[in-house]
């Protein structure tokens, strides 16, 4: 490989896992990491990774950080309000710096209109995808489904005591995938050719309702877990009564309503197609979290 691979969001969960997987395939000196604060990246430095400072709000800092980079693993920003512009900044900087190939972490969806319950999430991804398609570089778009890791967040940290998943997702299904499996797909694409200008659905091989999720948690924990799908109004009122911060309520409700409307029910064989292995099953993941 001529130039380096740079991973953005390198101190985050997904970016960190991608770097771990890359280290199994290539030398550390072929990897660069973008961070907002180099003081938080001492572990990456210690591994021999080229740590570069940059901020999605600052095109100049990104352009400097992307110099000499052949492939860029572009993790979507976490600031839902501001990330449409931030994503445009990343693509602009990648083009200016001469990056050849950008691999972007987008999301699977059905409804791209402003009527979608998850439009606040969608608009930043759509901005990035459209910018990449217009830019003078190759791209790969990874349409991620929801992480399995969101289940404990949606279910609440005291699920084994409350014994109830309380979420207005109705009987909508989700093709959950473990974050570590998404990272393996990314590392495979980053270290091989033939993925230019392609979109990949990154989902599990089976989609589950929260009724089925509750049944699986019951099996692995030995405790009977129930699933209750309240009205959105009852959900909001109940969580407010427990003192849950409003932004957390809003984002959970948004994903729950998207689930109810079938936004996340896609399944895919992408993991096996690219790695030759089966992805982590939902039962395996839930056993790690809730097992006896």
Question: What pLDDT is attached to residue 8?
Answer: 98
Question: What pLDDT is attached to residue 112?
Answer: 86
The pLDDT tens digits for 82-102 are 999 999 999 999 999 999 999
46 contacts: CB under 8 Å, gap ≥ 6 = none
Query: Higher confidence at residue 116 or residue 102?
Result: 102
Going from the N-terminus, what domains does the chain have, and what CATH number goes with each? Answer: 4-144 (3.40.50.720), 147-177+204-266+276-292 (3.90.25.10)
pLDDT > 90 in the chain, percent: 94
Question: What pLDDT is attached to residue 268?
Answer: 98
The pLDDT tens digits for 185-227 are 999 999 999 999 999 999 999 999 999 999 999 999 999 999 9
Mean pLDDT of the chain: 96
Question: What pLDDT is attached to residue 111?
Answer: 85
Residue 127 has pLDDT above 90, yes or no: yes
- Any idea which residue has 């778009």 for tokens? 141
Query: Higher confidence at residue 116 or residue 100?
Result: 100
pLDDT band at 107; cut points 50, 70, 90: very high
pLDDT band at 113; cut points 50, 70, 90: confident
pLDDT band at 126; cut points 50, 70, 90: very high
Q: What is the C-alpha to C-alpha distance for residues 54 and 66, in angstroms, rounded to an integer?
A: 9
201 contacts: CB under 8 Å, gap ≥ 6 = 108, 143, 145, 266, 268, 270
Residue 169 has pLDDT above 70, yes or no: yes
The pLDDT tens digits for 45-75 are 999 999 999 999 999 999 999 999 999 999 9
11 contacts: CB under 8 Å, gap ≥ 6 = 33, 35, 40, 41, 44
pLDDT band at 145; cut points 50, 70, 90: very high
Asked whether the whole model's pTM tops 0.85, one would answer: yes
pLDDT > 70 in the chain, percent: 99
Residue 203, φ and ψ in degrees, nearest 5: -135, 165
Residue 1 has pLDDT above 70, yes or no: no
Q: What is the C-alpha to C-alpha distance for residues 141 and 132, in angstroms, rounded to an integer?
A: 9
Give the distance from CA 147 to its chain's centroid: 7
Residue 276 has pLDDT above 60, yes or no: yes
Taking every pair of Cα atoms in the chain, the longest distance, rounded to a whole number of angstroms, is: 57
The pLDDT tens digits for 147-164 are 999 999 999 989 999 999
Residue 292 has pLDDT above 80, yes or no: no
Question: What pLDDT is attached to residue 157?
Answer: 87
Question: What pLDDT is attached to residue 2?
Answer: 65
Question: What pLDDT is attached to residue 70?
Answer: 98
Question: What pLDDT is attached to residue 58?
Answer: 97
């Amino acid at each position: 490989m001529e130039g380096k691979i740079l991973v953005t969001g390198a101190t985050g969960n997904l970016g960190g896992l991608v770097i771990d997987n890359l280290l199994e395939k290539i030398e550390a000196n072929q990897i660069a990491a973008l961070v907002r604060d180099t003081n938080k990246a001492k572990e990456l430095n210690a591994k021999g990774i080229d740590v570069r400072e940059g901020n999605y709000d600052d095109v100049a800092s990104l352009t400097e950080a992307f110099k000499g980079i052949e492939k860029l693993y572009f993790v979507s920003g976490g600031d839902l309000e501001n990330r449409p512009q931030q994503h445009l900044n990343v693509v602009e900087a990648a083009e200016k710096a001469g990056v050849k190939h950008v691999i972007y972490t987008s999301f699977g969806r059905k409804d791209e209109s402003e009527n979608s319950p998850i439009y606040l999430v969608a608009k930043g991804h759509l901005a990035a995808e459209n910018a990449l398609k217009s830019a003078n570089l190759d791209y790969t778009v990874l349409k991620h489904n929801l992480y399995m890791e969101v289940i404990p967040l949606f279910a609440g940290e005291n699920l084994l005591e409350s014994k109830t998943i309380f979420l207005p997702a109705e009987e909508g299904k989700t093709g959950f995938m473990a974050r570590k499996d998404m990272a393996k797909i990314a590392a495979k694409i980053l270290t091989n050719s033939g993925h230019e200008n392609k979109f990949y659905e990154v989902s599990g091989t089976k989609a589950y309702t929260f009724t089925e999720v509750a049944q699986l948690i019951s099996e692995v924990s030995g405790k009977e877990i129930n699933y209750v799908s309240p009205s959105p109004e009852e959900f909001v009122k109940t969580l407010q009564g427990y003192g849950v911060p409003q932004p957390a309520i809003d984002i959970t409700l948004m994903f729950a309503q998207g689930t109810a409307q079938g936004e996340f029910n896609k399944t895919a064989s992408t993991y096996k197609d690219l790695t030759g292995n089966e992805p982590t099953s939902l039962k395996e993941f839930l056993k790690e979290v809730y097992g006896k």
